[in-house]
Amino acid sequence: MKQMILAGLITATLTTSALAHSKAEKTTPANEASVETVEAIEMRFDDPMRVTAITLTGPDGEVQIERETGMDAVTEFRALPPNDLPAGAYAVDWRGLSADGHPMQGTFGFTVSE
Do residues 82 and 100 lie in contact, with contact meaning Cβ atoms separated by under 8 Å? no
CATH of the domain at 88: 2.60.40.1220
Amino acid at position 29, single letter: P
Q: In the prediction, which pLDDT does 99 show? A: 85
Its domain, for residue 39, covers: 22-112
Cβ atoms within 10 Å, residue 21: 17
Do residues 90 and 63 lie in contact, with contact meaning Cβ atoms separated by under 8 Å? yes
Number of domains in the chain: 1
- In-domain check, residue 101: yes
Can you give the chain as a three-state secondary structure string?
CHHHHHHHHHHHHHHHHHHCCCCEEEEECCCCEEECCCCCEEEEEEEEEEEEEEEEEECCEEECCEECCCCCCEEEEEEECCCCCCCEEEEEEEEEEECCCCEEEEEEEEEECC
- In-domain check, residue 6: no
- What is the pairing mode between strands 41-58 and 88-98? antiparallel
Q: pTM for the whole thing?
A: 0.79
- pLDDT tens-digit map of 11-33: 443 333 344 456 668 999 999 99
- In-domain check, residue 103: yes
- pLDDT tens-digit map of 28-44: 999 999 999 999 999 99
Local confidence band at 98 (pLDDT 50, 70, 90 cut-offs):
very high
